[in-house]
Amino acid sequence: MKSQKKNLFRSLASLFAIAAATNASSQGLEDDDSVFVLDPFEVAGTSTGYTATNTISGTAMNTPLRDVPMTINVITSELVEDMAPIDLQDVMKINSSMTQTNRHPVVNRTASWSIRGFMNRNVLVNGVKSGDLVIPQMIDRVEVVKGPNTLYGQSDPGGLVNIITKRPKDVEASSVKTMIGDNGRLGLDLDVNTLAANDALGLRVLAGYDETDGYRAADGDNTSYAGVLGSLKASERTTIFFDAMGDETQGIPAQRAVHPFVRIPTDLNGDGVIDDTVVQGVTESTARYNSSEVPADYTSASPASRFGNDRWYLGAGFKHKFSDNIVTNYNYVNTEQYQSMNFSSINTFQPTAELDGELGAAPTFFYQHNFDTTEAHTLQTAVVLESDQVTHRFLIGARTTRDYLEQQLKFMRTNNAEERAILDDWIADGRDITLLISYDDILNGIYPHVDDEIPSAAEIQSFGAPLVDQFSETEVDSLYLTDSIGLMDGDLKLLAGIRYTDISTSTLDSNGSVVGLTNNRSDTSYQFGAGYDINHYLTLFGNAATAFNPNGLNASTGDFFEPEESTAQEIGIKFNGLWDNRVTGSISLFKIKKENVVRSDFDPDTFGQLVDITDDESKGVDVELNMNLTESWQALVGYSYLDAEVVNGKSTAVGLNLEGAAPHKFTLWTSYGFDNGFRFGGGVIHAEGRIQQYGNSVNRLIYEDGYTEVNLFARYETEFNEYPVSFGLNVSNATDILYLQSRGGTNNPRQITFSSRIDF
Cβ-Cβ contacts under 8 Å for 119 (sequence gap 6 or more): 101, 111, 113, 156, 158, 658, 659, 660, 695
Are 218 and 305 spatial neighbours (Cβ–Cβ below 8 Å)? yes
Residues near 721 by beta carbon (within 8 Å), at least 6 away in sequence: none
pLDDT, position 14: 44
Last residue of a domain, one of 116, 149, 165: 165
| Calpha distance 1→5 (Å, rounded) | 6
- Same domain for 352 and 438, yes or no, is yes
Residues 103 and 202 in one domain: no
Q: What is the model's pLDDT at position 10? A: 44
When divided into structural domains, the chain yields a total of: 2
197 and 74, same domain (yes or no): no
Q: Check residues 729 and 602 and name the one with the higher pLDDT.
A: 729
Return d(Cα 563, Cα 565) in angstroms, integer: 6
Whether the per-residue pLDDT at 607 is higher than 90: the answer is: no
Q: Which residues contact 45 (CB under 8 A, 6 or more apart)?
A: none
**Rounded to whole angstroms, how far apart are CA atoms 253 and 343?**
7
**Is the residue at 426 inside a domain?**
yes
- Residue 286 included in any domain: no
My answer on whether 394 and 525 are in the same domain is: yes
Per the DSSP assignment, residues forming a β-bridge with 574 are 539, 586
Average pLDDT over residues 432-452: 91
- pTM, rounded to two decimals: 0.89
Q: Please calculate the CA angle 129-130-136 and round it to the nearest 5 degrees.
A: 105
Answer yes or no: do 227 and 100 share one domain. no
Q: What is the pLDDT of residues 236-268, one digit of tens each?
A: 999 999 999 999 999 998 888 888 899 999 999
- 112, 147, 165 - which closes a domain: 165
| 645 vs 32, residue with greater confidence | 645
Q: How far is CA 204 from CA 241, 318, 433, 563, 756, in A?
A: 12, 17, 49, 43, 21
- Quick: pLDDT tens for 685-725: 999 989 998 888 888 999 999 999 999 999 999 999 989 99
My answer on whether 193 and 99 are in the same domain is no
Residue 603 lies in a domain: yes
Nearest to residue 191, comparing CAs of 211, 165, 213?
165
Q: Is the per-residue pLDDT at 15 higher than 50?
A: no
* Positive or negative: CA dihedral 88, 748, 110, 338: positive
Tens-digit pLDDT profile for residues 56-115: 888 878 888 999 999 999 999 999 999 998 888 888 889 999 888 877 655 445 557 889
The span from the CA of 562 to the CA of 664, in Å, is 33
The CATH number assigned to the domain holding 445 equals 2.40.170.20
pLDDT of residue 514: 86
Are residues 599 and 698 both part of a single domain? yes
pLDDT given at position 49: 87
Q: Which domain holds residue 101?
A: 2-165
Q: What is the pLDDT of residue 652?
A: 83
SS3 content of the chain, % helix, strand, coil (to 5): 10, 55, 35
275 in a domain, yes or no?
Answer: no
Q: Are 287 and 264 in contact (CB under 8 A)?
A: yes
Beta strand spans in 650-739 (E): 664-673, 678-692, 703-720, 723-732
Beta strands 348-351 and 261-263: pairing type? Answer: parallel
Residue 685 CA from chain centroid, whole number: 18
* Cβ density class 22-57: b for 16+ within 10 Å, e for less: beeebeebeeeeebbebbbbbbbebbebbbbbbbbb
pLDDT higher than 90, residue 18: no
Q: Is residue 497 part of a domain?
A: yes
284 within some domain: no
Looking at the fold, whether 516 and 614 belong to one and the same domain comes out as: yes
Which runs of consecutive H residues, i.e. helices, occur in 594-746?
Answer: none
Lowest mean pLDDT among 23-37, 146-160, 596-610: 23-37
Locate all alpha helices (DSSP H) within 312-471, ordered by sequence: 417-428, 439-443, 457-463
Domain assignment present for 277: no
Which of 165, 188, 216 is the last residue in one of the domains?
165
Burial class (CB in 10 A: 0-12, 13-18, 19+), 536: exposed
Residue 307: enclosing H or E segment and its boundaries?
A: strand 306-323
Of the candidates 642, 736, 626, 734, the one whose C-alpha atom is nearest the C-alpha of residue 687 is: 642
Q: Are residues 216 and 80 in the same domain?
A: no
Is residue 189 situated within a structural domain?
Answer: yes
Q: Are residues 80 and 228 in the same domain?
A: no
Same domain, 554 and 688: yes
Q: Are residues 177 and 108 in the same domain?
A: no
Cis omega before residue 64 (within 30°)? no
CATH of the domain at 75: 2.170.130.10
